[in-house]
Amino acid sequence: MEINVGGRKVARRSYGFDEVAVVPAAVSIDVTDVDTGWQLGDRSFPIPIIASAMDGVADPRLAVELGRLGGLAVINLEGVQTRYEDADAAIRKIIEADKDTVISLIQQMYLEPIKPELIERRIKEIKAGGQLAAVSAIPAAAKNYSDVIFGAGADIMVIQSTVTTVEFISSRNGAVSISDFCRNSPVPVIVGNVVSYDGAMSLMEAGADAVLSGVGPGAACTTRKVCGIGVPQITATADAAAARDDFEARTGKYVPVIADGGMRTGGDIIKAIVAGADAVMIGSPIAATEEAPGKGYHWGMATSHPGLPRGTRVQVGIKGPLEQILFGPARTDDGTMNFIGALKLAMSYCGARTIKDMQKAELVVAPSLPTEGKTAQRAQAVGQWR
């Protein structure tokens, strides 16, 4: 629905997680009969959880543990893991810095050159743990370091920037061909980020094996404030999913959509899937695990930009082990633990045996959802108002 916002300018209404609700189906199924798995190329994953490529979220140790649990973690090849031999020491400096100086410190620390030998080492550390090595870089870095990345045995490549487009017009530099990279890659390529039907469709047509949807919803991201761009995540994901379905109908190829960012609770993850996501990429919930390298701190990928930081450092605390965050038992009542248990139960309520079935569940616009009947919770700062 378009709304006139003045003059000839119209704006489309869009929706975020707190504005919609999932409608249970007329038939439910046993929670033990649901399947939360998804597929990327010929790789199958038991749970639709991907850890964001952020330095406070994922390192090789967490990647091994999340892989063991059935998910996937992505390592940022332009972060501290590939700039510093002792990445843990670099992270300690960031988490111990004063909040008034931490952005300047991050900018300074990320000026350290990327070392190809560390790219190779981090990938091999994950492989030595018996798990898939997924790595992330902006288009130019992905191209420049591709020989090292693939030579070291990376299993999945993520080409990721705030907004990634197939066509890039510049009077200064030549563009990186997304289609050439995807065509020549020996491993599946995930590309993002996008927030529109056309953006998602163009990446699929360029050969992306999966597409990331979402600009600016993450807890540590400030892009929406700094640049004013972004689309609420329900609408962004639904538009990308529509492109996926149309692309499959035309070509026969199914390209998964991964909702990236903005999800804090099991309910958010469930709504993202009902909006059309095949999997979700989350940062702050993983940063709050005991295994995360940031020890309860989390900062955005664009925080280090030397001229225009578009992220900040946030403290998310430590809630518990990664396995407990994903599979429970939950010891909180606010939806921030036992994500997979919540997803399975919601699938049961919706009569959905698979993730693709869950994508067909009904959504309603429900702006009163967070507040309806919750006066006592709000007054006492418990449950949904914790």
The amino acid occupying position 151 is G
Mean pLDDT on 124-145: 96
CATH 3.20.20.70 fits 17-385, yes or no: yes
Half-sphere exposure of 260 (CA within 13 A, CB side): 32
| 130, 156 contact by CB (below 8 A) | no
- What is the residue-wise DSSP string for 144-212? HTHHHHHHTT-SEEEEE-SS--S----SSSPPP-HHHHHHH-SS-EEEEEE-SHHHHHHHHHTT-SEEE
Q: In the beta sheet, which residues pair with residue 43?
A: 40
Please state, in angstroms and rounded to a whole number, the distance separating the CA atoms of residues 5 and 187: 45
pLDDT in tens, 221-278: 888 889 999 999 999 999 999 999 999 999 999 999 999 999 999 999 999 999 999 9
Residue 183 burial (10 A CB sphere; 0-12, 13-18, 19+): exposed
Which backbone phi and psi does 123 adopt, to 5 degrees? -65, -45
pLDDT in tens, 182-235: 999 999 999 989 999 999 999 999 999 999 999 988 888 888 889 999 999 999
Listed by start position, the domains of the chain span: 17-385
For the four alpha carbons of 280, 284, 290 and 293, in that order, the dihedral sign comes to: positive
Mean pLDDT on 327-352: 97
Please state, in angstroms and rounded to a whole number, the distance separating the CA atoms of residues 296 and 218: 16
pTM of the model: 0.95
Q: Report pLDDT for 173.
A: 66
